[in-house]
Amino acid sequence: MNRIDRLFAILLLLQKKSRLRAQDLAAEFEVSKRTIYRDITALSEMGVPIVSLPGEGYELVEGYFLPPLLFTDKEAIALFLGARLLLQQATGALVGDAEHALTKLAVALPEKTRQQVESLTKIVSFIASQEQFNLDEPQLVTLQQAIQQQKVIHMRYHSYTQNDTTEREVEPHQLYYSEGVWYVQGYCRLRQAMRSFRLSRIEELTVRADTFVKQLSPEPTPTSVTIQVRFTPESTRWVRERQHYAFQAEEVLPDNQGVLMRYGVSSATEMIPWLLSWGAAAEVLSPLELRQKLHQEATRLANLLT
């Protein structure tokens, strides 16, 4: 690594890790501490505000960021496309901030890079299939704060599989957005296991005063039921396009019998609406209990239509 690349890498590390010692930087770049001292001096002479803390290391002055001019062409394009997707999918104050950031970035970019960005963004667009989500929605903001502060939440949750309401205390770990729906994942003290909760099913949410210590490597949500479904050859392509989130693997069956797909879920009943949407193109091979429940549901539906 040449010196210019190393100076830039040191700057990135300081911005990412906040505070680093000379020996840490020397080990990272396989150089001597004396070389690091010279590099820090060179960065300071270039106008980078680096603070030296005796016995503790180096850190950047609070509020200092790398200028957008240091972005590569591909990095700038990635930022523009990512921000455009956010602008089309979300609402809220953060969206306005994203618009302002794009304006600043466009002004600061070199002319050649700006032309590349403008050319690509004219031919690439995103069409969101779901309604926009509001990043300022109170429930979402409350959960963000609870996760950051590691506070226990109490919720009244309406279960889809049992169609009833339970009171739960949960240690929230993260939020994620999947197929147009927000979920909060955390350790459920009622079930004593990791669980994911759909925000639209939380009927009441309260943040407790007590905190929790997050485990570094929480165990994944266990799947206790394996479901095997045979799909007809004609439907296989479309099933792959609208695949269920619990999909695990598939096997092409001989003699044009279709494809066998395997799913892992905590409750087999949660797949019933999705399976029914495929009609006669989907045949549940196991478990037997799910076949029976589908038969009962299909019979009720047939009675309604006759």
Read off the pLDDT of residues 234-246 as tens digits, 9 standing for 90 and up: 999 999 999 998 8
Taking only the tens place, the pLDDT of each residue in 95-109 is 888 887 777 777 667
Total-model pTM? 0.58
Location of each CATH 2.30.30 domain in the chain = 138-211
Residue range 138-211, CATH number = 2.30.30
Taking only the tens place, the pLDDT of each residue in 246-299 is 899 999 999 999 999 999 987 888 899 899 999 999 999 999 999 999 999 989
pLDDT band at 149 (very low <50, low <70, confident <90, very high): very high
Query: Which pair of structure tokens corresponds to residue 154?
Result: 């109490």
The residue that leads in pLDDT, 302 or 222, is 302
Residue 193 predicted with pLDDT over 80: yes
Q: Which residues of 189-216 are buried (b: 16+ CB within 10 A; e: fewer)?
A: eeeeebbebebeebeebeeeeeebeeee
Query: Which pair of structure tokens corresponds to residue 133?
Result: 């989500």
Task: Give percent above pLDDT 90 in the chain.
Answer: 42
Listed in sequence order, the residues at least 6 apart from 215 whose beta carbon sits closer than 8 Å to its beta carbon are 187
**225-304 is classed CATH 3.90.1010:** no
Omega before residue 138 within 30° of 0, cis: no
CB 159 within 8 A of CB 166: yes
Location of each CATH 1.10.10.10 domain in the chain = 3-60
Task: Give percent above pLDDT 70 in the chain.
Answer: 91
pLDDT band at 70 (very low <50, low <70, confident <90, very high): low
**3-60 is classed CATH 1.10.10.10:** yes
What is the distance between the alpha carbons of residues 306 and 302, in angstroms, rounded to a whole number? 6
